[in-house]
Amino acid sequence: MIRTLLKSRETVLGAAILVLILAIASRFPAFVTPSNLANVFNDTAPLIILALGQMVVILTRCIDLSVAANLALTGMVVAMLNTVMPGLPVPVILVIAVCLGALMGLLNGLLVWKLDIPPIVVTLGTMTIYRGIIFLISGGEWINAHEMSDTFKAFPREVVLGLPLLSWVAIFVVTGFAVLIGRTPLGRAFFAVGGNPHAAVYTGINVGLTQCAAYVLSGALAGLTGYLWVARYAVAYVDIAAGFELEVVAACVIGGISIAGGIGSVGGALLGALFLGIVKNALPVINISPFWQLAISGSAIIIAVAFNATSNRTRGRVILKKAEHAS
């Protein structure tokens, strides 16, 4: 049983997070107070939401490098909309943000599906396009807190049962994805397409359509996060979340989602995001330069990839030992 637990990525990562928290607590005990841990979770909520969207894309042997640009464009659009129509209800803004993000995800999915362009090329291209559109519609100008309505800014900060609504949105998304991945045909299709796309075709699964659905989901979550990000920080500008897509991919890889597709879990993506969130929040507290976060994240990615490679490696049966040794 212990050996089985040690082979579980989630168990190993959970233990690593616990050791990390204890190490930080030894130098700064206030870090582990319930209120501060709740703040850490709230700070990590956008990363958790985006990592779950990225997870389903990676499960299908694709990747989405446009999530941060999608977030930034959606955030700018809803912020500009709020300045023009400050009385627009928050539920309407949420629907607009999700639909706009899903539309950008659909564009990625259709290019990958219908034109058979490599996903990394498609999403690198759309990432640049989305950033360019932000500059065009905003003229390079910022939208600051005094230009946004109080209702617009208040939603992600509203506290319910001791947690801000931003945290509750992340919890809701995690719960929803746990059901989607484990209990629905679409969730099983994600794994089938990533595990063996040729076999998936024979079972009646449309590989391209499934990959497109993954991009739409990722885009919708990026759009949702775009509004939450802009409303929480009360600012919108061209370079919002610049480079954040790499942090999202890192959270997935650290969480055990195989970049080869077909392997991963909601718990793994959640723990990967929490690991990076704890590192990001802890380094300034213990007087370590935040720039070390990049080195720590990079090291964690390499370790995670090596762990995934060794755990997934199956040694074949050797038939001709002499020939093997001779070679």
The pair phi, psi for residue 163, each rounded to 5°, is: -125, 145
Residue linked to tokens 């034109």: 115
Establish if 6 belongs to a structural domain.
Answer: no
Residue 125, CA atoms < 13 Å, CB-side half-sphere: 11
- Residue 7 confidence (pLDDT) above 60: no
Q: Is the confidence at residue 124, as pLDDT, over 90?
A: yes
pLDDT (0 to 100) of residue 178: 93
| Residue 67: CATH number of its domain | 1.10.3470
pLDDT on residue 308 = 67
**Number of domains the chain is built from:** 1
Question: What is the mean pLDDT of the segment spanning 283-293?
Answer: 71
Of the two residues 140 and 194, the one the predictor is more confident about is 194
How far apart are alpha carbons 95 and 275 in whole angstroms?
A: 30
Per-residue pLDDT, 316 = 47
**pLDDT tier for residue 48 given thresholds of 50, 70 and 90:** very high
- The residue-averaged pLDDT of 278-298 equals 74
Helix axes 207-233, 67-84, angle to 10 degrees: 50
Tell whether 14 is covered by a domain: no
Residues 112-151 as b or e (16 or more Cβ within 10 Å = b): bbeeeeebeebbeebbeebbebbeeebeeeebeeebbeee
Please report, for residues 138, 152, 227, 230, the alpha-carbon distance to residue 83 in angstroms, rounded to integers and kept in the order given.
12, 10, 14, 13
Average pLDDT, the chain: 86
Q: At residue 322, does pLDDT exceed 70?
A: no
- Direct distance between the N- and C-terminal alpha carbons of the chain, in angstroms, rounded to an integer: 38
Does 241 fall in a domain?
yes
Question: CA quadruple 246, 249, 253, 254: dihedral positive or negative?
Answer: positive
pLDDT of 306 > 80? The answer is: no
Instruction: Say if pTM beats, i.e. exceeds, 0.75.
Output: yes
CB atoms within 10 A of CB 160: 9
Which domain range does residue 80 map to? Answer: 38-307
pLDDT at position 65 is 93
Q: Tell me what pLDDT residue 139 has.
A: 85
288 inside domain: yes
**pLDDT tier for residue 28 given thresholds of 50, 70 and 90:** confident
Structural domain includes residue 33:
no
Residue 25 has pLDDT above 90, yes or no: no
Look at residue 24 and tell me if it is in a domain. no
Q: Say if 1 falls within a structural domain.
A: no
